[in-house]
Amino acid sequence: MILQRVFALTLLAACVALAVMAWPYQAAFSYEPVGPRAFPLLMLGLMGVGLLYLAIRPTAIVRKDDDPELDRETLCKVGLCVLLLLVFASTFESLGFIVSSILIGVPMARLYGGRWLPSAVIISLMSLALYWLFDRVMEVPLPLGLLDVLEN
């Protein structure tokens, strides 16, 4: 139980440090009414409340029999997910949202048991639909990257 509290307090300290770093941020332009720092501060605040609850919780969190084991296979899947997300973050601007989403989405689906063809089709359609939703409906510009020649 002490390890859970130490973990929660460590993450709470990280949230506080990130909130202190995010507080003075001011963007040269604002495309939303509350400004660009509201979302990170809100997320850090919600995380902080949850971590504070975990730190002062009177009983320990115990593993139930129906919870998945944290065995080697599960930890490898989690590690591969983190690696794929890092690849997505590094290729997002250069390859564009659609290509990088497909590049990362298909291996992610395969990692969790998806078949090749349905994974490729569904991820491709979702990437196109999400690009359209963000770019056209919500007017949040996403990079096209390699597909930049298709615009206009």
Q: Does residue 102 surpass a pLDDT of 70?
A: yes
25 & 97 share domain: no
Residues 35 and 75 in one domain: no
Q: What is the pLDDT of residues 8-31, one digit of tens each?
A: 899 999 999 998 988 887 766 656
Q: What is the mean pLDDT of residues 78-88?
A: 92
Alpha carbon 108 to its chain centroid, in Å, reads 14
Which pTM value belongs to this model? Answer: 0.61
Token representation of residue 24: 């003075």
Say which residue, 37 or 126, is predicted with more confidence.
126
Give, in order, the Cα–Cα distances in Å from 9 to each of 4, 6, 12, 50, 103: 9, 5, 5, 11, 37
Average pLDDT of the residues in 104-109: 93
If one counts the domains in the chain, the total is 2
In the predicted model, is pLDDT for residue 68 greater than 90? Answer: no
Examine the domain organization and report whether 76 and 144 are in the same domain.
yes
Q: Are residues 57 and 80 in the same domain?
A: no
* Same domain (yes/no): 7, 74: no
Given 29, 62, 95, which residue is the final one in a domain? 62
Same-domain pairing of 96 and 57: no
Question: Can you give the residue range of the structural domain that contains 114?
Answer: 68-152
